[in-house]
Structure 1
Amino acid sequence: MSVYINLLPFMKKINDAPAFLQDWGGGIEISTDGPHWHGDTDWAQEKERFASYAGDIGVHLPIWELNLASVQFPQYAAYSFEAYRTYLEWASTFASHAVLHTHLYNMPLFHREEAQALSKHYIKQLGDIAEQKGIMLLVENVGFHDKMLFDEREFVQLFEEIPAIQALLDVGHATINNWDIANVIEALGTRLSALHLHDNDGENDLHLPIGAGVTRWNEIWQAVAEQTHSLRLILEYDESASLEVLKRHGNELLQAGKVVGKINV
């Protein structure tokens, strides 16, 4: 197992990240919605900021203002694809994986089947580009309740239909949508390459530390421990998270290694 820390807690203080990471022995996942959360990403600056980092690096592609599943405005979906393509090509020059959302998670789905087809159309193209560039494209489950583009069965099926991509299961999102998380892990099998780990109250996407919400972690650890292939475990805590807790949880996961089912965070 590989352990990563998503740098959300540093979004508004990104220049503090290098000092924090000096004694972190795992990987990192950087966000691309601007180093201060609501700004543009300076590609050269962001790449240089972590150029000396010895661990593995992943990139979370942009979240806001892009939507691959815009049926009513197909030009918007096409523009979103081009934006994702350029970010993906940039990420491929220094990162091992990139995370992609299936759609803009808070948008109403007036034409769900058509939106699914459009999203798949562009995801397949991005997957092909990722293969050519030598970077793993991880597709994440997003959207809640009636804004969820793919339910748990459809999410598993997505990776049967598109071989060039891998699954990233966001545990917090799955908890809110009442998915059988252990079953999804088993059903995805080797198509599952990563998990975003965070907790919540079952209703809101709070990105709390593990154990601070209602998620049934013992079932998840057991399902993860039963996998025979390597997984990327990515702590994705809210920007207000305690850095002490973040590092402690990351180190506990690192120490747990393959017997991740026995961690006690």
Structure 2
Amino acid sequence: MTDLPLLGAAMKTSELAEFQDFILSENRDLELQDFFDADLLNGDWRSVADQARTLLAGYTGRLGIHGPFWGLSIANPDPDLRAVITRKFLQGLEVCEYLGATQMVIHSPYTTWDYNNLDNFPGRAAYDRVLDNCHATMDAVVRRAQETGVTMVVENIEDKDPDIRRILADSFNSPSMAVSIDTGHAQYAYGSTGAGPADFYVRRAGNRLEHVHLQDADGHADRHWGIGEGTIRWHEVFRALAELTSNPRLILELRDKSQILPSVEWLKSRGLAR
């Protein structure tokens, strides 16, 4: 049983005290989710970070944050807006450096519309335009992340193409850009847009996968249900994860935090994770 992958969790600092023993007893991976809030990043975020540092005294696990994302497409074509977006991600990296966090989740720029339309132009022109915009926004951020030892992981949101985020991450030629998968987002794409199932996303990411949001869903909406409450085929997801050597962080990202421990037990009882 001890050979099973160790689960971590995502939560706000205000929720951390309730799960302090769960996280610290085995130094589980932790993702703090306070710091995507624009008002907090523009305000006294250090006081929240200080609370987290106090609660995590003695912690030696892998700490990450969810970076800013509301309204912040990294493929924005407007140079004035790109400057704002770049600044927001640099603020996120400042939080990482203050906390000692080594990973920051960012969102994929690709939409369902992109999937149906990027090939509606000659050659690779539309694909290249997205990549060029991403580099114009993120090159300085990636350089700073590399300087501070942070890896940014690009999470699927509407992505129907399981390869497209890996291609984006690879285009930066940096260890500070890698791939994330959200299982519920993959299930939404599978159920609502005709994408492959979540385990296909894992296999296509391969060892570029360094982070997973684990949540259950029904294929219609972004449910963030406890594990076992939706329709994801978890045995196959964990078979796919077992093929990797990249040791991705397995983060339970549940809307109802009271479902964290039951979700751990659900997976443990089936010999999938602990």
Whether 2:210 is the aligned partner of 1:196: answer no
Give 1:118's aligned residue.
Answer: 133
Q: What does 1:19-58 align with in structure 2 at a 5 Å threshold?
A: 19-24=18-23, 25=26, 26-31=28-33, 32-34=35-37, 39-41=39-41, 42-52=44-54, 53=56, 54=59, 55-58=61-64
Aligned partner letter, 1:131 = Q
Q: What does 1:60-209 align with in structure 2 at a 5 Å threshold?
A: 60-71=66-77, 73-93=78-98, 94-103=100-109, 113=127, 114-142=129-157, 144=158, 148=159, 151-164=161-174, 165-178=177-190, 179-180=195-196, 181-209=198-226
Give 2:16's aligned residue.
Answer: 17
Deviation at 1:242, TM superposition (A): 4.6
- C-alpha distance in 2 between matches for 1:202 and 1:89: 36
Pick aligned residue for 1:212 from 213, 229, 238? 229
Deviation at 1:201, TM superposition (A): 1.4
Aligned partner letter, 2:47 = Q
Show structure 1 runs of 5+ residues with no match. none
Pick the structure with more helix per residue: 2
Aligned partner letter, 1:96 = T
Aligned partner letter, 2:252 = L
Pick aligned residue for 2:260 from 225, 243, 246? 246
Aligned partner letter, 1:262 = G
Deviation at 1:29, TM superposition (A): 0.8
Give 1:232's aligned residue.
Answer: 249
- C-alpha distance in 2 between matches for 1:192 and 1:229: 7
Structure-2 change in CA distance of 1:196 and 1:78 (3 Å) = same
- C-alpha distance in 2 between matches for 1:188 and 1:177: 16
Aligned partners of 2:208 and 2:246 also within 8 Å: no
**How many aligned positions are there?**
242
TM-score (structure 1 length as normaliser): 0.78
- C-alpha distance in 2 between matches for 1:104 and 1:189: 19
Deviation at 1:182, TM superposition (A): 2.6
- C-alpha distance in 1 between matches for 2:137 and 2:6: 29
Q: Deviations over 1:34-78 (max 9, x none)?
A: 4xxx8524321121111131243211001213232222x331122
- C-alpha distance in 2 between matches for 1:249 and 1:174: 19
Q: Deviations over 1:183-208 (max 9, x none)?
A: 33223222111111111110111111
Aligned partners of 2:227 and 2:266 also within 8 Å: no
Show structure 2 runs of 5+ residues with no match. 119-125
- C-alpha distance in 2 between matches for 1:97 and 1:250: 22
Give 1:262's aligned residue.
Answer: 271
How big is the alpha-carbon RMSD for the aligned residues of Structure 1 and Structure 2?
Answer: 2.9
Sequence identity percentage: 23
- C-alpha distance in 1 between matches for 2:135 and 2:265: 37
Give 1:5's aligned residue.
Answer: 9
Structure-2 change in CA distance of 1:218 and 1:123 (3 Å) = farther
Which secondary structure does the structure 2 equivalent of 1:29 belong to?
A: strand
